[in-house]
Amino acid sequence: MAIVSSPPSVTDVCRAAKHAARELAQADTERKDAALRAIAAALRARGEEIVQANEADVRAGREAGLSEALLDRLALDEERIEGIARAVEQIVALGDPVGEVIEGRKLPNGLDVRKVRAPLGVVAVVYEARPNVTIDAAALCVKSGNAIVLRGSSSAAHSNAVLAAIAAEAVVSEGLPEGCIGTIGSPTHPGAREELAELATLEGVVDLVIPRGGEGLKAALGAVATVPVMYAASGNCHVYVDAGADLQMAERIVLNAKTQRPGVCNAAETLLVHEAVADVFLPQIVSALAAAGVELRGDTYIHARASAHVREASDEDWETEYLAMTLAIKVVESVGEAIEHIARYGSGHSEAIVTRDTEAARAFQSAVDAACVYVNASTRFTDGGEFGMGAEIGNSTQKLHARGPIGLRELCTFKYLIEGDGHVRG
């Protein structure tokens, strides 16, 4: 009788990654870059296989009633696969952060002290919906000398499995260690909750967990984690149109922030409008948003004036990350009230002000507590690729140890290298 072997446990996968991380940390830049080029080449060569796997996920998502915005996040085609491959090549072109000298000095006693970047070790990424994260995360970890353990979403199970296998095979073909790209079960896997708890409590094995998803995932990990966690959390993002705004510019920015890709975390979810421009700007923007297919929810002021297009908002609307073609709108009396609203409801991701008033812009920049604060630009630019980082694992809404797009340097810690000449302490 044939013996059917069970898949490796979470602990087995993570221990294999820990073993691989020791070798990967010592790999030179040329070797790591060759592995990344192999990933990009394999993505292009196996594009048809990736699309077929993704079609199965999209079909299942449509049958499960996923919104069009979430289906868009999930979908892959030849153009998007090429974009993922190019993102890997952009990471190749970036400098290797490992060994980078952050600062250095000679002490009065003659000791040379250097503070240099070093890999974290084993990074576990738990993520929802977007299969491109599989490759972005793997490529960033390889370049920064980290082993990675991937736990993707059940909605992208077929896509993630193929993409992770392609990446793992490609890097091993270039001499990197087996186990440096590992995968564990999806959230619908039997015992999924227990697996997540096992992952988040592997002290001494897993060095960092990065959950990229909604508040439910954040809460589930926060309840059990004993290893460090860096949240690439939700984005309840705002655009505030100030009294000093160029209203044509404001319309372009609002439309882009809401409609360019509504199912992503840097899309705007709430529009705040200064009362001084409300009577002029609101008819203009409500008409443009409605024409674009956006469902609008407004405060009493807006609902009374545009009830044909705007549903009255509840308190819940200000708290909601819609990830869909829905936008809440509120009129405020001042930049101070806009800042207070963002402080109460914002998630610390990306916030924008549209204004020609320098004083208002500076007040917004200094007072708004978010990873990315924009003046006269769309929140949609919060992205590692747009910031010249090649790609990102997510956008950290924390303050330690990294904030904003999580790229190569954010996947490093540091250590001090001290050199002497027989020095002893008296």
Q: Are strands 310-312 and 295-298 parallel, antiparallel or unpaired?
A: parallel
Q: What is the pLDDT of residue 191?
A: 62
Domain ranges, ordered by start, for the chain: 10-232+406-419, 237-381
Which of 3-12, 98-107, 127-136 holds the top average pLDDT?
98-107
Amino acid in the structure at residue 111: L
Q: What is the pLDDT of residue 308?
A: 80
Tabulate helix, strand, coil % of the chain (nearest 5).
45, 20, 35
Task: Report how far residue 82's alpha carbon sits from residue 52's, in angstroms, rounded to the nearest whole number.
Answer: 15
Tens-digit pLDDT profile for residues 21-31: 999 999 999 99
Q: How many CB atoms lie within 10 A of CB 101?
A: 11
What is the pTM (predicted TM-score) of this model?
0.88
Q: Look-up: residue for tokens 């809404």? A: 397
DSSP summary character for residue 238: E
CA separation, residue 181 to residues 123, 124, 177 (Å): 10, 10, 9
Mean local confidence (pLDDT), 350-354: 98
Q: What is the pLDDT of residue 234?
A: 82
Q: What's the pLDDT band for 187 if we cut at 50, 70, 90? A: low
Q: Is residue 349 reached through a cis peptide bond, with omega within 30 degrees of 0 on the bond before it?
A: no
- Helix axis angle for 47-63 and 157-173, nearest 10°, is 160
Q: In the predicted model, is pLDDT for residue 105 greater than 70?
A: yes
Same topology, domains 10-232+406-419 and 237-381? Answer is no
Amino acid in the structure at residue 10: V
- Helix axis angle for 78-93 and 29-45, nearest 10°, is 170
Task: Report how far residue 369's alpha carbon sits from residue 395's, in angstroms, rounded to the nearest whole number.
Answer: 14
Q: What is the pLDDT of residue 37?
A: 98
Q: What's the pLDDT band for 43 if we cut at 50, 70, 90? A: very high
Mean local confidence (pLDDT), 258-282: 96
Q: In the predicted model, is pLDDT for residue 55 greater than 80?
A: yes
3-class SS of residue 230:
coil
Tens-digit pLDDT profile for residues 296-320: 999 999 888 877 889 999 999 999 9
Q: In the predicted model, is pLDDT for residue 218 greater than 90?
A: no
Q: What is the pLDDT of residue 220?
A: 86
Q: Which tokens sit at 276? A: 């001084």
Mean local confidence (pLDDT), 343-363: 97
What's the CATH fold of domain 237-381? Aldehyde Dehydrogenase; Chain A, domain 2 (3.40.309)
Return the CATH number of 10-232+406-419, one of 1.10.3720.10, 3.40.50.300, 3.40.605.10, 2.60.40.1120. Answer: 3.40.605.10
Q: Look-up: residue for tokens 């990197």? A: 176
